[in-house]
Chain A
Amino acid sequence: MRWKQRGFRVTLPLLAVGAAVLLSGCGVSKQSALAPVGPVARAQLGMFWESLAIMTGIFVIVVAVFLYSLIRFRARKTDTGLPKQVHGNTTLEIAWTIIPIVLLVFLAIPTVHYAYAFGDVPPNAMKVDVVGHQFWWEFDYPGSGVTTANQVHIPVNTKVDFVLTSADVIHSFWVPRLGGKTDLIPGRVNNLWLESNQTGTFYGQCAQLCGAGHAYMKFTVLVQTQAAYDAWLQSMQHPTVSVTTPLEQAGMKLFSQDCATCHTIGGTAFNGKVGPNLTELMQRPTIAAGTLTNTPANLAQWLHNPPAVKPGALMPNLHLSQTQIQSLVAFLETLK
């Protein structure tokens, strides 16, 4: 009989440790919803703390009554007869109907408020079109002709309206430090506005199961000062590809044969639409949607056999020779 109490003495501190870790803000995680950098994520975190406080209160009350009963009313050897039989108590029953309703009102108010606040896209927001693909992200900057992949650049302190749609199955756009997610659904256009008050790189990841490569469908948001952002957009609009060494030239030639059906490179004639746009590829920190860091060795590994590097990758193994890969990598290295 004493078992029960001892057990809870073990588990309660455990719960407390859990809460303490939460409270510390978990700064270590680079993709944590607990470390917001924009108004949307901050509002969501605020709702989290408010509701967590109410829920903890409820839990503590329930467990206090519960543990007290278990200790105080445990059966003893000396007991005789039956305890007093109580069928109900109207006052109590009304109380524990009304109090939760009141608490829920406190939760419902911010819920409705922010449902509208997040639902209405600010009219002056800058637009970025996002297209989800198995298993990578396409970002288009409407009006500028700029298209990029897997890393989206946005200016700091600017409301950005991500216009979400999908080319194949359902994906979900999630950058926890900027705000909650919204799905990319084929045949539908969704809007999600976010803003960052801090420059830097923020990590995002597809949150809706989309096939074998789902775990490898990551992306980054590069938040820049307005000037840096403008400069980037400029350079993307007028990319120059300067191929000089023979190796690079061989790579470019090979690219036109093997790769151009799927990939576009600004500043060249290559305009395939199946895979990611490779303009200024070297600016991306990673390749294959966060699967590998963007180094020459990794590029070579990728070209050697994409589906072996990334499960489900829809870029086929082209059975390239080691020399072909070398020249292709050399060429890709010029895409600055």
Chain B
Amino acid sequence: MSTTDAHVVAQQTQPTEIGLPKDNKVLGLWIFLAGESAFFASLIGTYLGLHGATLHGPTAQSIFDLPLTTVATLILLTSSLTVVLGVQAMQRKDVRGMQIWLWVTALLGIFFLEFQGYEFFTFYNKGLTLHSSAFGSAFFTLTGFHGLHVLFGVFWILLLLFQSLKHGINEERTSKVFIASLYWHFVDVVWVVIFTLVYLAGKVG
């Protein structure tokens, strides 16, 4: 049948060409993070749109405590490093090392949350609340959602940690740890953006 597309059939494909076992979960997480980026972009955009609406309450300039937040930022950044160390240990099949570094990571995450809790508490006492002004609403919602992400990450890492303590580690679990670490990095990166656009820029005015 000369009219049909013989030339298409001619471009045969070798079975080996495609179909390498790419890890669905890793790709899935990357895609999830793309969606998360859009989520935080919307929250940050909202904050930038409303941060001037302080009414008679505290302003960004008057209330932010940069040294405190800087310390919290450094803690979170360090936790990114420790989770890398954990994954590296895992790749060396050093389960003990992995577990230690995961512990440290989770602890740093908890420290960060404590800083944030303290910050929220002092702001609250100074009259900046979710309903004091649109600035307050936007600030607490943005940083609060970031905090929830950290909290979720801490639980996730602890969960995998306990699982590895109880059942050891296997191929599926290693990929889960790797994914949790990617998520953790993402949460850190978002914080760096928040730190820059909210705290640093807010202090400058």
Would A and B touch once assembled, by the CB under 8 A criterion? yes
A-B CB contact pairs (8 Å), 11 listed: A81-B1, A81-B3, A82-B1, A82-B3, A82-B4, A83-B3, A84-B3, A85-B3, A85-B4, A85-B5, A87-B5
| Residue-wise interface mask of A (83-102) relative to B, using a CB-CB cutoff of 8 A (1 in contact, 0 not) | 11101000000000000000
Task: Kindly list the 5 A-B residue pairs having the minimum CB-CB distance in the complex, ordered from nearest.
Answer: A84-B3, A85-B3, A85-B5, A85-B4, A82-B3
A82 to B6, CA, bound (A): 14
Chief secondary structure at chain B's binding surface: loop
* Distance between Cα atoms of A82 and B1 in the complex (Å): 9
> A84: which B residues are within 8 A, CB to CB?
3
Q: Enumerate chain A residues within 8 angstroms of B1, measured Cβ to Cβ.
A: 81-82
Apart from A82-B3, A82-B4, what are 9 other A-B pairs with CB-CB below 8 Å? A81-B1, A81-B3, A82-B1, A83-B3, A84-B3, A85-B3, A85-B4, A85-B5, A87-B5
Taking the closest CB of chain A, its distance from the CB of B25, in whole angstroms, is 38
Closest to B5 in A: A85
Residues of B within 8 A of A83 (CB): 3
- A85: shortest Cβ distance to chain B, in Å? 6
Contact residues on B (Cβ < 8 Å of other chain), bracket: under 10
Query: Which residues on the A side are within 8 Å of B5 (C-beta)?
Result: 85, 87
Contact digits for B1-18, partner A, Cβ 8 Å, 1 yes 0 no: 101110000000000000
Q: Which residues of B contact A82 (CB under 8 A)?
A: 1, 3-4
A72 to chain B, nearest CB (A): 19
The residue in chain A whose Cβ has the minimal distance to the Cβ of B4 is A85
Interface residues of A in 68-89 (CB under 8 A from B): 81-85, 87
Minimum CB–CB distance from B158 to chain A (whole Å) comes to: 46
Q: Nearest CB to that of A84 among chain B residues?
A: B3
Across the interface, which residues of B come within 8 angstroms of A81, CB to CB? 1, 3
Minimal beta-carbon separation of B94 from chain A (angstroms): 57
Closest Cβ–Cβ distance, residue B38 to chain A (whole Å):
26
- Chain B positions within 8 Å of A87 at CB level: 5
Tell me the bound Cα distance from A320 to B3 in angstroms: 88
Bound CA–CA A81/B2 (angstroms): 11
Q: Which residues of A contact B3 (CB under 8 A)?
A: 81-85
Q: Write the nearest CB–CB distance from B102 to chain A, whole angstroms.
A: 49
| Chain A residue nearest in CB terms to B7 | A87
Residues facing A in B1-51 (CB within 8 A) are 1, 3-5
Complex CA gap A85/B5 in Å reads 7
- Distance (Å) between the CB of A114 and the closest chain B CB? 29
Q: Residue of B at shortest CB range from A83?
A: B3
- A83-B4 Cα distance, complex, nearest whole Å: 9
Name the distance in Å between B16's Cβ and chain A's nearest Cβ. Answer: 28
Contact bitstring B66-101, A, C-beta under 8 A = 1, else 0:
000000000000000000000000000000000000
A253 CB, min distance to chain B CBs, angstroms: 43
Residues of A contacting B4 in the complex (Cβ-Cβ under 8 angstroms): 82, 85
Complexed CA–CA distance, A84 and B2 (Å) = 10
Contact string against B for A residues 172-215, beta-carbon threshold 8 Å, 1 for contact and 0 otherwise:
00000000000000000000000000000000000000000000
Q: How far is the CA of A29 from the CA of B1 in the complex (A)?
A: 64
Query: Smallest CB–CB gap between B3 and chain A, Å?
Result: 6
Determine the distance from Cα of A44 to Cα of B4 in the docked complex, in whole angstroms.
52
A87 to B1, CA, bound (A): 16
Q: Could you tell me the distance in whole angstroms from the C-beta of A86 to the nearest C-beta in chain B?
A: 10
A82 to B3, CA, bound (A): 8
**Minimum distance in angstroms from A243 CB to a CB of chain B:** 46
